[in-house]
Amino acid sequence: MISDKMTQAFNEQVNREMYSAILYMSMSAHCNQEGLKGFANWFMVQYHEEMFHAMKIYEYIQRQGAQVNLGAIQAPPTTFESPLEMLNQTLAHEQFITRSINDLMELAISEKDHASQIFLEWYVTEQVEEEENDNDIIAQLKFIKDNPQGLMMLDRELAGRATTVPTDFSKGIESAMAASGA
């Protein structure tokens, strides 16, 4: 059982995670258009990560016998100045997500909702990794500056990122994770 307030807060987080997914999908499309296939791959993997984050909460709400209420998702930007601008936007967005996860945790603590606290711990840890990944790429882009060769090398490196999260949720998260080996 979770409270109505907690249910609403979780539903809002599903919306934020889905916005994250389409934001990164939009960045992936932009990178493809710019010929940065490795960056496009990195953002598409990120899209899958975000859908996984959304689906975990979607399922948790239902397992708690509460109601999923999906709302309209804001349209993402479609053009970006440079890879560095995109990664800066990505980091700023992830910092916003980190704050929203912290707010959810604060709510769960104030409600003495132990199950939600345990559930949210995974997201607290995940956000450290998400921000770290963005900071690493930003540092490399700052080092590369306007050097096309350096950018091509980074693009090749990012092409190697593989999706490690499940992508088929038709039979629920547990079976999706088992099937994907995640």
Helix intervals (H) in 65-113: 83-110
- Matching residue, tokens 């934020």: 16
Q: Which of 14, 18, 19, 20 binds ligand OFO (CB under 6 A)?
A: 20
The 3-state DSSP class for residue 17 equals helix
Q: Is 123 in the site for ligand OFO (CB under 6 A)?
A: yes
Interface size with ligand OFO, residues (CB under 6 A)? 9
Q: Which H or E run contains 43?
A: helix 37-63
Per CB under 6 A, contacts with ligand OFO among 88-117 are 94, 97
Query: Using the rule CB under 6 A, is 50 a contact of ligand OFO?
Result: yes
For the chain, the first-to-last Cα distance in angstroms comes to: 27
Q: Rounded to the nearest whole angstrom, what is the least distance from the CB of residue 50 to ligand OFO in the complex?
A: 5
17 binds ligand OFO (CB under 6 A): yes
Q: Which residues contact 4 (CB under 8 A, 6 or more apart)?
A: none
Tokens of 160: 């190697």
- What does the block give as tokens for 164? 């490690």
Q: Is 53 in the site for ligand OFO (CB under 6 A)?
A: yes
Q: Which of 31, 36, 64, 130 binds ligand OFO (CB under 6 A)?
A: 130
By CB under 6 A, name the binding residues for ligand OFO. 17, 20, 50, 53, 94, 97, 123, 126, 130
